[in-house]
């Protein structure tokens, strides 16, 4: 009996079992700690120090955050970037996710032919480099040699063309829609997977009760995939407030014109690493990065504690 108590669930004694767990978990924990946990804590610590003219760092507590939020030199760019980032997120929520839901619903229809081909084509831009995407769309929308102007002119809509990427009022919307085009495949695949998990018996029973395809989707499928829609919304929120590469690839670190496409990621890059005549400031850059972390943390907490807890889940 005593010997059986020493045997673990995999046929090993306790010490050997713990050693095996450490052997398999240690590489992942080390990599995660070095490249995620340590940089996060180092960033938070750096945000508490103030850089002096001689390059030394002096503990400043929350002074950097006060400067970022209230000082006119820093608060203007910060609130501009935060406002643009909010619009960037809203556009993705209102355009990308509904389109992803509609595409997933269409691709899940049992009688749709070539569904796998359509799914691959829609998801393909997600796998392309952001640099390629940005450069390609700059060529397409260029007022000098872009094909967008010729395409609109060929259908009698040439008067509607304008340099969308070069006008302050349309630059952010244009880059947001390009991002939607590239990443719409992600919500589509996640929602499509959730729709496939719904038992066919439920849909058959709804059809017998007289519901058509639209009614069955609205009253049966949609409530069952709410957890997947919540996950898509959280991923959209996190990715949008971590966004940087597409704006940088298309508009550079200055996020022009006149900072109209500036978001938190480009503001952090410009502050931390410097740009042109602006010198890099590690302390204020870390402060902006910490604010990004806090914004994402608050958003996820609101979802977890106020929305997800009230969401009913179903198991099949």
Neighbouring CB atoms inside 10 A of 171's CB total 24
Put residue 175 in one of left, alpha, beta given phi > 0 → left and psi -120 to 50 → alpha. alpha
pLDDT grade, residue 2 (50/70/90)? very low
**pLDDT higher than threshold 90 for residue 280:** no
pLDDT grade, residue 17 (50/70/90)? confident
Rounded to whole angstroms, the Cα distance separating 296 from 234 reads 9
pLDDT digits (tens, 9 = 90+) for 222-277: 989 999 999 999 999 999 999 999 999 999 999 989 999 999 999 999 999 988 77
The mean pLDDT value of the chain amounts to 90
Task: Report the b/e string of 237-262 with b at 16+ CB within 10 A.
Answer: beebbebbbbbbbbbebbbbeebbbb
pTM: 0.88
pLDDT digits (tens, 9 = 90+) for 32-69: 999 999 999 999 999 999 988 887 889 999 999 999 99
Can you give the pLDDT at residue 126? Answer: 94
* Closest residue by Cα to residue 260 from 123, 95, 82, 80: 80
Can you give the pLDDT at residue 80? Answer: 96
pLDDT digits (tens, 9 = 90+) for 74-103: 999 999 999 999 999 999 999 999 999 999
Can you give the pLDDT at residue 310? Answer: 74
Which domains, ranges and CATH numbers included, belong to the chain?
2-46 (no CATH), 63-310 (1.10.3720.10)
**pLDDT higher than threshold 70 for residue 306:** yes
**pLDDT higher than threshold 70 for residue 177:** yes
**pLDDT higher than threshold 90 for residue 216:** no
**pLDDT higher than threshold 50 for residue 213:** yes
């Amino acid at each position: 009996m005593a010997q059986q108590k020493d045997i673990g669930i995999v046929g090993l004694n306790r010490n050997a079992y713990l050693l095996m767990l450490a052997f398999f978990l240690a590489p992942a924990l080390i990599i995660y700690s070095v490249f995620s946990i340590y940089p996060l804590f180092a960033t938070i610590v750096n945000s508490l120090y103030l850089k002096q003219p001689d390059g030394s760092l002096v503990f400043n507590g929350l002074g950097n955050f006060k400067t970022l939020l209230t000082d006119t030199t820093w608060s203007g760019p910060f609130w501009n970037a935060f406002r643009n980032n909010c619009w960037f997120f809203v556009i993705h929520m209102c355009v990308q996710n509904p389109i992803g839901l509609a595409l997933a619903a269409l691709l899940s229809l049992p009688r749709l032919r070539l569904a796998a081909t359509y799914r691959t084509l829609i998801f393909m831009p997600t796998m392309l480099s952001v640099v390629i995407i940005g450069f390609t769309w700059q060529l397409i929308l260029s007022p000098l040699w872009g094909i967008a102007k010729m395409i609109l002119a060929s259908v009698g809509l040439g008067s509607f063309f304008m340099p969308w990427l070069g006008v302050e009022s349309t630059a952010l919307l244009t880059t947001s829609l390009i991002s939607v085009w590239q990443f719409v495949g992600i919500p589509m695949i996640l929602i499509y997977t959730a729709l496939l998990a719904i038992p066919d018996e439920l849909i058959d029973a709804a059809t017998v009760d007289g519901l058509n395809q639209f009614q069955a989707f609205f009253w049966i499928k949609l409530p069952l995939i709410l957890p997947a829609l919540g996950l898509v919304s959280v991923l959209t929120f996190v990715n949008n407030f971590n966004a940087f590469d597409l704006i940088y690839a298309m508009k550079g670190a200055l996020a022009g014109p006149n900072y109209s496409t500036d978001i938190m990621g480009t503001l952090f890059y410009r502050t931390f690493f410097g740009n042109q005549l602006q010198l890099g400031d590690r302390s204020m850059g870390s402060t902006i990065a910490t604010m990004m972390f806090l914004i994402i943390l608050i958003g996820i907490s609101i979802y977890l504690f106020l929305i997800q807890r009230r969401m009913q889940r179903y198991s099949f």
